[in-house]
Each structure stands twice: as structure tokens, then as C-alpha cells.
Amino acid sequence: MSGGRPDPDPGHEQGRSREQGVHTPDRDDPGRPTDPSASGPETPRRGADLARDALAAARAAAAERRAATGGGNGIRKPVRRSGAGLGRPRRRGWSGAGADDRDPQTLGRLASRLSGDRGWAPRLSSGAVFGRWAELVGDEVAEHARPESLRDGVLTVQADSTAWATQLRLLQRQLIGRLAAGLGDGVVTSMRIHGPAAPSWRRGPRHVSGRGPRDTYG
């Protein structure tokens, strides 16, 4: 006690200091910054959390695609083209179930189309007749007759005898059918068959041509 006043109680002063706002840090205070080192190891994420994150990312990507194609209504936005291609028919991006020009083609079909476009079909047909004659008409006919020319669907054939020329004229329809089966329709439409060449009376390198049949037969 000094000057007639009692000495302040130390315990009373400490209580006043606490009442006047002296704040003691509390561990349970949510506003208090936490020490990462004191919080312990981070809890690993579970599989369900990862699945939810992946689903959310997939939905976001799908929404972006829908917005880019047509605003989410499933309708594609029309593609504006330049003026040069307005008159051309639009081709689909896929061939579909039916036949299409873009489908894979066989080598024979492509060769036939190329030969038709280049004008090679007549020469190729003629070469096929000459090269496959025995295969097309048979060995027996090929032994006694040979092709000479093929023009505009008319096949000229020479037989080695008059009898065989007559026989081939009787078999002409059957021979044309065999040729059509091996070469295709329209390659040979008719046949001109003749026998061996007539004998010639021109003998020697110094012969003199007469004025006509009267000079030979009198």
C-alpha cells in the first residue's frame, strides 16, 4: 500500500487484461492460419473422387463439342462453301451400304474402264481372239481354221478346205456363242468364212499379165 491506496491485486489485473481483449490463440479457431507441417500427411484421394473428376472432364469436353457443331441440339451447322463449288453436287463422306464409285474395284474392271476411255478396246479384243483362238473355239476347229481379221464385230476366218468352210458356216451361231462367252457380248457379232485361196496361174518372175480370162482359157 502506498500513499493510502491498497496495492493492486496481480490476479485481478490479469483478469482485466483478458476482459479488455487480449486474445489467446486457440487451436480450434477456424480463422487462424494453420501450419502445413503441423497438419500431418495429406489424405490420399479415393477411387470415387477420381471417377467423379474424370466424368466431369468428359461432360465438359462433350459440351464443347456440341457447342461447336450445333449448339447442343444434334444438328450440324451448314458449312459455307465458296462460289466455285455451289453448282457441284455434294458427296457424302462415306460410301454407305450400296454400290459406289469410290468402292474398291477389281483390276479387271479398272483395266476395262481404262481401255474403253483410251480407245484400246477394239485392238485388245482382236488380240484376244487371235491369242486365245484354240481356247475359244476348240482344238478341232482351230486345227482347220484360223482368224484373219476382226473389224466392227465381223470376224473373218479362213478354213483349210472347202468342206471345212461349209461346216463352219453351219456352226457359225455356236461359234459366236463361244466367242461371246469367252470375250463378252458384242465383240464378235458375225463371221465371214471362206475356203483356201484360189490357185494362181502366175508363174515365175518374168510372167506377162494377159488381157483377161480369154487369153488363158481360149
Structure confidence by residue, pLDDT tens digits, 120-135: 666 667 778 888 899 9
Please state, as a whole number, how many other Cβ atoms lie within 10 Å of the Cβ of residue 20: 7
Q: Answer whether 168's CB lies under 8 Å from 145's CB.
A: yes
User: pTM, whole model, 2 decimals?
Assistant: 0.41
Q: Rounded to whole angstroms, how far apart are CA atoms 65 and 57?
A: 13
| Residues counted in the chain | 218
Is it true that domain 119-194 has CATH number 3.90.1170.50?
Answer: no
Would you give the end-to-end CA distance of the chain in angstroms? 189
Structure confidence by residue, pLDDT tens digits, 32-90: 555 544 455 556 667 778 888 888 998 999 888 888 876 555 555 555 555 444 555 55
- Interior/surface letters 48-72, b for 16+ CB within 10 angstroms, e for the rest: eeeeeeeeeeeeeeeeeeeeeeeee
